[in-house]
A and B are shown apart, each in its own frame.
Chain A
């Protein structure tokens, strides 16, 4: 008797989103990144298509990341207070698909830099590296609204991904993204109902559903991964089943969560049984990211060069099924 695979068939497809615009398209990027477009759960090439490889973004800050553990600072020594140089090092040496710029210097407690000054730095990064950008504010809503609208203008036509829109604070950012042609990160506090609501709020402002990326507020391995995983999976299954308000690509800020936890940042002197942190840290970050890729993430944002390498290797192996492209 022959063996037959039981295959799941979905009625809908996840939206395809393009980040970055080349000169011909009105921007100045030397590459663009396409994500989404799946008609199956991740990597099930027998069931449907996964036309675009998930993208890896590397995180940089526009100010010295004083809270980062030493082992994460080490690969970037000498450039951590020079955002342009930091960006160049990431892009040239580690080859991520995207660069994520966290505008931390806007924060009242992290320098309180002016929108104009921040925009200048971003502009300078844009003229020095060619990959597409993800840009996010510092978390202070009032300040972010001022800074992001300025940065959005500076990056007009570059088709970036700007964030984060939250239930309490989304209108200004949506307006900027409409005016300057960017896509938007729609954040929810690990809540599928708010996730859907956010997307409807954004689309009620006449923003195309096809330019929204979902950020479901993720976690680090060991800190509720199962919950995040099943939420992402449920949302993806609803999207594939025809819920247009959930048929968006998903992104995860992996580094931001992972480098807070002791399993990643703890020194071997404090946890002698856990092994060298140089190995353990990036492994923790990469493993967390790979978990999210399996749950449906289309973009993972990481900090450590070694994590980028591990995830690149993983994707190369698992996306081997070229015939389905």
Chain B
């Protein structure tokens, strides 16, 4: 499974400080520790407080790329920012993200194609907002898939995100998301990939790590292909590795946890 480390995000005080002080050491440290703990790619998000978004994003990505050649997930809701930084990134790229609106798809899908990047697409748009159930999610996903095919994208580079919501706020949504992961797979052959921003499920809850862990295992059993998560949560990573094993994605051996981490 594609593990995208979520910790380089201006939402975290430490990262926000590093950005404002232009202190690369902290960024290097957080990047490395995520990779050492099993991240396949690193999400990079400047957070809401940035005053100079493009420059901050450039600086942040540059800092991360100094310590890794693994893929970088450029995380911004603004296509303009993504477009500006794309040419500067030598690592493989994950565009994070588009949604189902034409104005975003029309800019970002061709960019994904041009830069040979993978792209995450949220199944939401302005009209619907956050989708209320699996049917709306599938409808929007179908639109994204057909637009992606039109744009000539390799469909396996498309990661549909059904939008995970906090279980303590909208409890009925969790099962809708899980069902969507399964249903998205029926949209094309080969099927699109699926990804979730995991930590959102436990936002504001008390037992965050436990909720994340259980939810990701359930999602993997539905066929989840990737997750943006905290790879430093050892129990969570162990659960991911074990769920993948149970799904027959990797060959068992007694030391399968460390075998996975050796990859």
Contact = CB atoms under 8 A, between A and B. Distances in A.
A256 interface: no
Given A242-B263, A244-B263, A193 B258 contact: no
B124 to A, nearest CB: 32
Interface of A: 192-197, 200-201, 203-204, 234-235, 238, 242-246
Contact of B251 (A201, A203, A204, A246): A246
Given A200-B253, A200-B258, A243-B263, 6 more contacts: A193-B253, A197-B254, A197-B255, A201-B255, A235-B251, A245-B262
B259 A196 contact: yes
B259 to A, nearest CB: 5
A200 B254 CA distance: 10
A244 B262 contact: yes
A200 B255 contact: yes
A194 B253 contact: yes
Interface of B: 250-256, 258-259, 262-263
A243 B250 contact: yes
9 contacts: A194-B253, A195-B253, A197-B253, A203-B262, A234-B251, A235-B251, A243-B251, A244-B263, A245-B259
A277 to B, nearest CB: 41
Contacts of B254: 193, 197
A16 to B, nearest CB: 19
- Please report whether the interface of chain A is mostly helix, strand, loop or mixed according to DSSP: helix
B259 A200 contact: yes
B262 A200 contact: yes
A48 B144 CA distance: 34
A246 B260 CA distance: 12
6 smallest A-B Cβ distances: which pairs?
Answer: A196-B253, A197-B253, A200-B255, A193-B252, A193-B253, A197-B254
A245 B254 CA distance: 13
Contacts of A192: 251
B110 to A, nearest CB: 25
A37 B253 CA distance: 24
A196 B260 CA distance: 11
Contacts of B259: 196, 200, 245
Contacts of B263: 242-244
A285 B109 CA distance: 58
Most buried by A among B253, B259, B263: B253
Contacts of B251: 192-193, 196, 234-235, 238, 243, 246
B72 to A, nearest CB: 20
A154 to B, nearest CB: 33
A243 B256 CA distance: 11
B168 to A, nearest CB: 38
Contacts of A197: 253-255
Nearest to B250: A243
A242 B256 CA distance: 15
A166 to B, nearest CB: 15
A245 B255 CA distance: 11
Contacts of A235: 251
Contacts of A200: 253, 255, 258-259, 262
Nearest to A167: B254
Contacts of A238: 251
Nearest to A235: B251
A197 B253 CA distance: 5
B234 to A, nearest CB: 19
